[in-house]
Amino acid sequence: QVQLVESGGGLVQAGGSLRLSCAASGATFSNYAMGWFRQAPGKERQFVAAIAFSWRGTRTYYSDSVKGRFTISRDNAKNTAYLQMNSLNPEDTAVYYCAASQDAGTTQVEEEYDFWGQGTQVTVSS
């Protein structure tokens, strides 16, 4: 079992930045692919970013809506994944969830993630 706890959400003005953290415990963090998803009010949860690895090395993936603005990273020594969010706009307002997958190659498919955090609220004001 992996326990995930997100932090770093809050209220920010449009154009601002936030960094979300996802602290993992209960398993060998480095073995898991990590992803970030978000859910806005009245909408389905959607993929934001993922960091996965294979024999080719570590790769990152982003949704088109955040590409170039958000950066996913991980620090295996700290058992923590991060989502750096820059140039935020009101459309980024959502609850952000981190997720872990035992399949190291998992990327965008929500159903392939095995463990989820409780979410952290990000609100961007105009």
Task: Give pLDDT tens digits for 16-30.
Answer: 999 999 999 988 888
Q: Average the pLDDT over 109-118 and give the result.
A: 95
Write down the pLDDT at residue 56: 79
* 54 pLDDT more than 80: no
Least confident stretch, 12-16, 23-27, 59-63, 94-98: 23-27
> In sequence order, what are the residues at sequence separation of 6 or more whose Cβ sits closer than 8 angstroms to the Cβ of residue 98?
4, 6, 20, 22, 34, 35, 36, 37, 81, 83, 116, 117
